[in-house]
Structure 1
Amino acid sequence: EKQIPIVYTGMDRRPDGFDQGAWNWKSYRSGEASDIKGSLGNEIVEEIKPEPQDIYFVKDKPSAFHGTHLLDYLIYLGADTVITTGTTTSGCVRASAVDATQYNYRSIVPEECVWDRSMISHKVNLLDIQMKYGDVKKTDQVIEYFKSLPDRPCGPNTPTGVANTDQEVPK
């Protein structure tokens, strides 16, 4: 197919929340430990679990860019667009979409693929992303965008699943 790289992020917090730092001061949601490794709220659902060729890394802050190797991967892959999905619209999705724009990537947020605890917060943040940072699109529009891409990896370094062992090492 299109060989579009998919990057997943997760949070594997200490039970006491210490590794969350200052974010913990305002990010208290309830008595549930949803960010702790192995908790139900922190697991990727089976229907969209990462495949072997996908990239997964742990992040410590709302943005998928902050303190991670995401930017390195995007540069290496020759990517020009970041499509952000997940939760929450007002937190991690917004932070990642804004950072994608700050690094000069086209930022797309599929409206039906993001969620927030509050509908008001969800809608206001989608509006703000659309007005200032990226494109909020319907999922069918994003699928059409994927279909419009050439049938090749997104960049010169996109993994194809087979290592090239015949390549000469530069001297």
Structure 2
Amino acid sequence: MLAVARSQGRPVAHTRVVYAEDGSDAGAFAMKVPTLLGLTETSPLSRIVPEVAPLPGEAVFRKRHASAFFRTDIAAWLAFRRVDTLLVAGCTNSGCVRASVVDAPAHNLRPVMVTDRVGDRAIGPHEANLFDMGKKYADLMSLEGLRATLARNAQ
């Protein structure tokens, strides 16, 4: 998916959950899931894995809540680049992915979930969230479907 976006010169943004070393910026989300407090700037657990590491010019937004939009500058960054459709990949489908997809239309973005590029802790929540988001919030498309759509639109 990154290769497709990069080859077409599309803006690419990444997110990562990052809390202060002392947890002073944590809130109710971290109270519910205390292990999140281990996701600090220097923690290997909060780093973006090398396989999808940002390239120069790609933005990385640090967040402390499930949605990529809540208290980050990602909406302004996308608006400045005149983005109207958001291709979404990541984990966890029932958490951060869902929260971001639900928030995207509030910023006049059309979310497209790339179904074989999202995951979850278990297949049940994963499938239930794909179904629900496809009915209410997002278009669902496989990576192959995305490639085909982009190729058709390029003609």
SS of equivalent to 1:85: strand
Query: Are 1:27 and 2:36 matched, yes or no?
Result: no
Q: Show structure 2 runs of 5+ residues with no match.
A: 1-6
Structure 1 pair 50–122 and aligned structure 2 pair: CA distance change class (3 A): same
CA positional deviation for 1:25: 2.5
Identity of matched residues, %: 32
Q: Which AA in structure 1 matches 2:13?
A: V
Structure 1 pair 146–55 and aligned structure 2 pair: CA distance change class (3 A): farther
Equivalent of 1:6, from 1, 8, 12?
12
CA positional deviation for 1:127: 0.9
Q: Which AA in structure 1 matches 2:73?
A: H
Q: Which AA in structure 1 matches 2:88?
A: T
CA positional deviation for 1:126: 1.0
CA root-mean-square deviation = 2.1
Structure 1 pair 149–45 and aligned structure 2 pair: CA distance change class (3 A): farther
Q: Which AA in structure 1 matches 2:133?
A: I
Counterpart contact for 1:63–1:95, Cα < 8 Å: yes
TM-score, normalised with respect to structure 2: 0.85
Q: Show structure 1 runs of 5+ residues with no match.
A: 152-171
The answer to which structure, 1 or 2, has the higher relative contact order (CA under 8 A, 6+ apart) is 1
Query: Are 1:102 and 2:103 matched, yes or no?
Result: no
SS of equivalent to 1:57: strand
Equivalent of 1:147, from 139, 142, 151?
151
More strand as a share of residues:
2
More helix as a share of residues:
2
Structure 1 pair 26–78 and aligned structure 2 pair: CA distance change class (3 A): same
TM-score, normalised with respect to structure 1: 0.77
Max Rg structure: 1
CA positional deviation for 1:37: 2.8
Alignment of 1:68-107 (within 5 A): 68-107=72-111
Q: Which stretch shifts more, 38-47 or 72-81?
A: 38-47
Rounded to whole Å, the distance in 2 between the matches of 1:98 and 1:61 is 14
Aligned length, in residue pairs: 149
Q: Which AA in structure 2 matches 1:49?
A: A
